Each structure stands twice: as C-alpha cells, then as structure tokens.
Structure 1
Amino acid sequence: MCENKKYIIFCTCNEQELKSILNLEIESFKIFDNKEEYNKQIYYWKLEKTVRELTFEEKRRIMGQIIRPSEKLDQDLTAEFVMEALNNNAGFDFDYNPEDGDELLIGVSYKYPQIGNHYRPLLPQPMTFVYENKEWYFGYIDHFRYKQIELKKGNIKLRKSI
C-alpha cells in the first residue's frame, strides 16, 4: 500500500535571486488584474545562530514587544509537520549541523508587493523553532536578551511523495 507523504526542502538563494523575489513591484502592476496571481503566496525561511547575551546597554536601547509565533501557516505547513521534518533530517540544500541556540523562522508572504491601497488578507505570523539538546522544538529565542546572526535564508518547497 502506498503512502502519500509530504516533505519539505529548505532552498537557499543567492542575493540576486532574493532581490528578484522581493522586489517585484513592476510585475505587480502587470499581473494586478489576475487576482489568483496577485494573491500568490510563497514560503520563506531564515536560520539564525545565537552568539551571546546582550549587554545591559544593548538591552536598554531595545523597544518593542515579543510576538508569539504561529503554530500553523496553512493546512500544509504546521508546527507539528515542520518539527517532525526537522527532527528527521529535513532537506537543507547545504551542509548544516544544528547547534544549541539555533533558531529557524518559517513564514509566508505574498509573492508580489501590495499595490497602493489594494489590500489583501493578512497572513499569519511566522513559526519559529529552536534547536536544543539535539532536538528541534516549537518556540523562540528572546531577541530582547540574546544577540543572533543570520546563517542562511531562502525559500521552502513542499513536495508530495507517493
């Protein structure tokens, strides 16, 4: 009997590819009349490493509030699905050995920027996952307490296997 399973691939992009993905304003105007294309969404990811605790002075300059991560971006991309994939050697397209304090952010955005006041539905907050004690878990690193550096970022491809 065949099983219909989903799997996830974390694809890195070079700067040129990311710019072409994020700066699509001209194309937004070209496809505006095609509502399906104008509302097309893409998944993205960003991997960060925790490098140190912030100093007292650095903490004093921070303003804002912590926004809790979403547990689900849509019916295909849930925290449970991502955790299972990450803890079973998810497909990064580069050599990567997670270390304690690594954080993976996964979000969804519109492929094309918004045109003027032609609003679209709000998208959910990103999901975040933290690597600790040889395991990924759903959670977040306190950015008001720890300094992080970006390791890699890119887009996500979901595939189905039969």
Structure 2
Amino acid sequence: MCTFNNEIKFCTCVEEDIYEIKDIYIWSLNRYVGKRETNRRGKIMIPVNDFENGISTESIILKLNTGNIFDFEYIPEERDTLYISFNAKNNEEYKYFKLIFRDKCWQEGSNPAFVSINKNIAKGEIIIEKQTP
C-alpha cells in the first residue's frame, strides 16, 4: 500500500504491466551489475529536465538526496539508476530523464546505454498529489 508524507509518490502498487499503460508517469529503479561487449549502435532520445508538473530532475534529486521516496525500504548503491518517463499514447509526447547514484548522491545521468548490464529493483507509477489550500 502506498503511504507517503510528500506530494510525489513513487508507488509499486500497479497490477498491470506498467509499460502497457498509456498517459501515466512511470519509474524504474535499476542496479548496475556489470559491463558487456557490444557492437550495438543507435540513437538515443534526448532527455528533458522538467515535465512541467512538479516532476523535474531538480525536484526528484532533492527528494532522493534527503530521504527515501519509495514505498519500500531502499538503500542506494553506487551506479544505481532511476529512469522516469511519461508513457504517452502519442510517441511525440513521450519524454524521460535518468538519474544516477554516484559519489554518495543522486545526480543527472546514467550508466553507458549499450554496454551496461542492469537488474531491475522495482518499478511503478508516479502519483502527483494535488495540494489543497
């Protein structure tokens, strides 16, 4: 059950495949486990810094670096990554950013895309609580 004391909830309470649900904000927390050789090349979409709804790299980094914002016990390890995206119905509206735990704090960035081996720790929906005056 998701219970939080801040306005952004990182909830694991989704029953369906999170990637199949459209027009929601989703997150995926991953642990770096190693490196692999690859010849894969490709284009990577440019990340955004702000979804303009309270979800931004700056606001999430601040929350991550001051406490646990997940609905489970979690202690970050070096090179853990947090992927946050808006899973839009329309591909043009899709947007994302990635954060990495480096040097004992969260910051913008990620492990190298095509050579990193990662294990998923948890994933879910981001719920934005509307503050009532």
Common fold, TM-score beyond 0.5?
yes
In structure 2, the partner of 1:43 is: 25
Structure whose residues are more often helix by fraction: 1
Flag structure 1 segments of 5+ consecutive residues without an equivalent: 1-5, 25-40, 115-119
1:1-162 superposed matches below 5 A: 7-13=7-13, 17-19=15-17, 22=20, 41-55=23-37, 59-60=38-39, 62-110=40-88, 114=89, 120=90, 122-159=92-129, 160=131
- On the 8 A contact 2:19/2:87 being kept in 1, the answer is no
The aligned length equals: 127
Gaps spanning 5+ residues in structure 2: where? 1-5
Please tell me whether the aligned partners of residues 68 and 74 of structure 2 are also in contact (alpha carbons under 8 angstroms): no
Secondary structure (helix, strand or coil) at the match of 2:82 reads strand
Q: Is the 8 A contact 1:49 1:101 kept in 2?
A: yes
Distance 1:157 1:75, change over 3 A: closer
Larger Rg: 1
Pair 7,54 (structure 1): closer, same or farther in 2 beyond 3 Å = same
Q: Could you tell me the TM-score, scaled by structure 2's length?
A: 0.81
Q: CA RMSD in A?
A: 2.5
